[in-house]
């Protein structure tokens, strides 16, 4: 008889605690680190146990809190389950992706979140690919672009910062926008594009320059957005903060630098500490990118 995989045994124990009422809706379940400590298993095994419970709809990830027992399916005033709509499916999928990334998103997972069958979802959304497209377009629809100001640099700065904020709110969104050559037809994303293109066109750039400047700006924000997603996934997988990571590896870095083969790198930290965060890197890069566009605009105007 084949022994039950360790992660399934761990999931069964937590499932029993939920079914018995020991763990109520909204309460935190053991974290991956707690499972590793209490069960003596690897981090990957602990992660698989929580993922199995998530697929069943028993737990859900809450950003800044951890994994908690999922609430019961909401009821509508007439009693029974709330009516299923496409907007409701997309909203549920975004909640899952915000907490667990696209890797944790599946039609089955969304169905469990809504307390319905997977087949019922397909009457509203035909595939996961289409679901991600709708989620991404909804993310663009959240961007408050406002009225054009007539100042191309201020408008592009605002547009880039709003997209950066959206990627921070929805870390999966940058990866969902990965293709430039084969873009998805998304009305809200196209409104964002139109807003940016208008600002560049009013700066007297030609069509080719307008499109290149727009795509370069998108690529820049998207690249750092994907880095931000990787940072969030690293924190989720390891439970180790950026500061804890640096503290753990500080001596190893110092030993390598002390070998004498990295004089410029050593000089960077010689007089003052250097702390890197993605927000400061974003600000620095955005300003330099806009400086370059300003040069093109000046040459065109001259």
**What is the reported pLDDT for 74?**
47
Could you give the percent of the chain with pLDDT greater than 90? Answer: 27
Place of tokens 């009422």: 21
Chain-centre distance of CA 88, in angstroms?
20
- 188 vs 186: CA distance, rounded Å: 6
Contact (CB, 8 A) for 138 and 90: yes
Paired with 60 in beta bridges are 68
Contact (CB, 8 A) for 282 and 164: yes
Contact (CB, 8 A) for 34 and 50: no
**What is the reported pLDDT for 140?**
92
Closest CA to 26 of 75, 60, 76: 60
Question: What band does 132 get if pLDDT is binned at 50, 70 and 90?
Answer: very high
The per-residue pLDDT for range 262-302, each reduced to its tens digit, is 888 777 767 666 677 888 899 999 999 999 999 999 888 76
**What is the reported pLDDT for 210?**
92
Mean predicted confidence (pLDDT) in 220-230: 87
In this model, does residue 1 exceed pLDDT 60? no
């Amino acid at each position: 008889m084949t022994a039950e995989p360790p992660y399934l045994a761990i999931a069964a124990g937590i499932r029993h605690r939920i079914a018995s009422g020991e763990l109520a809706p909204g309460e935190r379940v053991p974290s991956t680190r707690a499972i590793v400590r209490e069960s003596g298993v690897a981090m990957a095994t602990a992660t698989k146990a929580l993922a199995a419970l998530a697929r069943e709809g028993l737990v859900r990830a809450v950003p800044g809190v951890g994994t908690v027992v999922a609430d019961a399916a909401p009821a509508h005033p007439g009693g029974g389950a709330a009516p299923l709509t496409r907007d409701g499916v997309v909203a549920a999928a975004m909640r899952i992706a915000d907490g667990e990334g696209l890797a944790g998103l599946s039609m089955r997972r969304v169905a469990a979140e809504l307390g319905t069958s997977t087949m019922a979802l397909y009457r509203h959304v035909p595939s996961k690919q289409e679901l991600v497209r709708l989620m991404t377009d909804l993310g663009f629809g959240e961007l408050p672009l406002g009225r054009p100001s007539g100042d191309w640099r201020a408008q592009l700065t605002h547009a880039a910062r709003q997209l950066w904020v959206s990627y921070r709110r929805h870390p999966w969104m940058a990866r969902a926008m990965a293709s430039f050559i084969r873009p998805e037809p998304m009305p809200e994303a196209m409104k964002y594009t139109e807003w940016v293109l208008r600002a560049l066109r009013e700066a007297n750039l030609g069509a080719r320059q307008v499109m290149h400047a727009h795509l370069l700006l998108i690529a820049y924000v998207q690249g750092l957005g994907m880095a931000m997603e990787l940072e969030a996934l690293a924190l989720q997988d390891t439970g180790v903060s950026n500061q804890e990571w640096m503290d753990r590896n500080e001596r190893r870095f110092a030993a390598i630098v002390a070998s004498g083969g990295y004089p410029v790198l050593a000089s960077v930290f010689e007089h003052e500490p250097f702390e890197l965060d993605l927000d400061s890197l974003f600000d620095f890069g955005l300003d330099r990118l806009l400086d370059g566009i300003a040069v093109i605009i000046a040459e065109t105007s001259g």
